[in-house]
Amino acid sequence: MDPHLIGYGGFAVVLVLLAFRVPIAIALGSVATCGMLLAYAWTPWLPFSLSAAIPPVSSLLGSTPLDFINSYALSTVPLFIFVGHLAFQAGFTTDIYAAARVWLARMPGGLAIASIIGCGGFSAISGSSVACAAAMGRVAVPEMLDSNYSRALATGSVAIGGTLGSLIPPSILFIIFGVFAEQSIAKLFVAAAIPGLISLIGYVVIVIIWVKLRPQDAPQPNLTNAREARGQALAKCWPILLLFAVIIGGIYLGAFTPTEAAGVGAIATLILGIVLRRLDIAKIKEALREAVSQSGQLFAIAIAGKLFVNFIALTNVAAQLTGWIGSAELSVFLVMGLIVLLYLVLGMMLDPLGIILLTLPLTLPVVESYGLDLIWYGVIVVKLLEMGLVTPPIGLNVFVIKSIVGDKIPLERIFAGVSFFLISDVIVMGLLLAFPILSLYLPSLL
């Protein structure tokens, strides 16, 4: 059988399995294993021989996970996850929200804006969108509802704000992209800084416009004098600002690598939490438990994704796809438009990590064949994955918020609230595609 058919068939089977809610690690791993067995056993012009396929596939299954996990760059993932959970347990991640809430009390929609800024602060040291939405959702959504904010604005602002965890460095998705695309993780982190800030500002602008058009969706601004409260709230933010300066500043200045930055960040967070008496043994254990659990799930998916990459390489599908596109002489604008459409469609059905592992084996060779910068492409991919976190019917961040509010707010109301913010995402995506310098300026200074 033609190995190309096996490759395309495997890709289709994965999509079907994921549509039936088969866990992404099982879907990718099982299809990759069965597909490699077929590819080795069904060699063109030779009779089918399963016994001939078992030794090479067994060798790959035995070596690939170890070779993949034994990666210096990947050790960054559990460290940044640990930093995020430590900071949450210590209350550092909610300090930004508390300060923004006080400082923006006079502004219509101030709590919604504070929620978005709080998500940005959480993202600056956590790297996980879902964790960001979960943490901020527990704090911000109930407070907005108690303050008579509309249900759509209260839930939508936190769900969209949580997506900043994918874009604002450090980001787990950028680490995974960097490992699979063999790109500098430090440059990817720095490249995302300006797009992340633009995205945050865009969400804030949407809140301002929303409240201007529908003032009934947010209470009147609080005009009480809270100068002393402002100072106290701002003073509490120094730990998270210090952590951000150490982690991102150290990477940008070349003081240490992203992996070293993650280690330094974990130690600094632990020391600050203990010295400030915000962390005790129980909270540290809980942070460790959550970090180990989340890291284990991510690595299981990543290993399965690596096996799938090997399967795609074996069937030579990517090379054939690149050849087809080259022979068709498609313009770079059309190719990027098709890639954007692919990610938007998959974002409606799959989780971000599954999408990135499923698509990179096919899209990276195409992008490289057009001479496009892979650092810029990484920012585009992660921004598209960020949008997928809030698009129906899957929208992981929306379901996280739904789990927090329970039956008080229907799912469609949360999606309706998010839809207004997607206008900003579309505009930002257009800017990133049209002006690559937004992503590439800071990396050029490294």
Mean pLDDT, consecutive 10-residue stretches, the chain (446 aa), reads 81 84 86 89 74 86 84 83 86 81 82 89 75 82 88 92 86 89 91 93 95 88 61 79 84 83 90 92 92 86 86 80 77 90 83 83 88 95 91 82 86 90 94 94 86
pLDDT at 155: 93
pLDDT at 221: 62
Kindly report the CA angle at 393 between 389 and 397, in degrees rounded to 5?
A: 30
Determine the angle formed by the axes of helices 151-162 and 110-126, rounding to 10 degrees: 20
In a domain, 198, yes or no: yes
**How many angstroms separate the CA atoms of 321 and 317, rounded?**
6
In a domain, 435, yes or no: yes
**How many angstroms separate the CA atoms of 201 and 117, rounded?**
9
In a domain, 156, yes or no: yes
| CB 202 within 8 Å of CB 425 | yes
In a domain, 371, yes or no: no
pLDDT at 257: 85
Q: Determine the structural domain holding residue 139 and report its residue range.
A: 73-279+416-445
In a domain, 239, yes or no: yes
- Amino acid at residue number 288: L
Helix (H, G, I), strand (E, B) or coil at 21: coil
In a domain, 60, yes or no: no
pLDDT at 44: 66
CA torsion sign, 63 to 66 to 72 to 73?
positive
In a domain, 14, yes or no: no
Number of domains comprising the chain: 1
Between the two ends of the chain, the Cα-to-Cα distance in Å is 49
pLDDT at 404: 85
Residues 6+ positions from 444 with CB-CB distance below 8 Å: none
**How many angstroms separate the CA atoms of 98 and 115, rounded?**
9
**How many angstroms separate the CA atoms of 338 and 323, rounded?**
16
pLDDT at 228: 63
In a domain, 292, yes or no: no
Rounded to a whole number, what is the largest CA-CA distance in the chain? 84
As a 3-state breakdown, the chain gives helix, strand, coil percent values, each rounded to 5, of 80, 0, 20
pLDDT at 167: 87
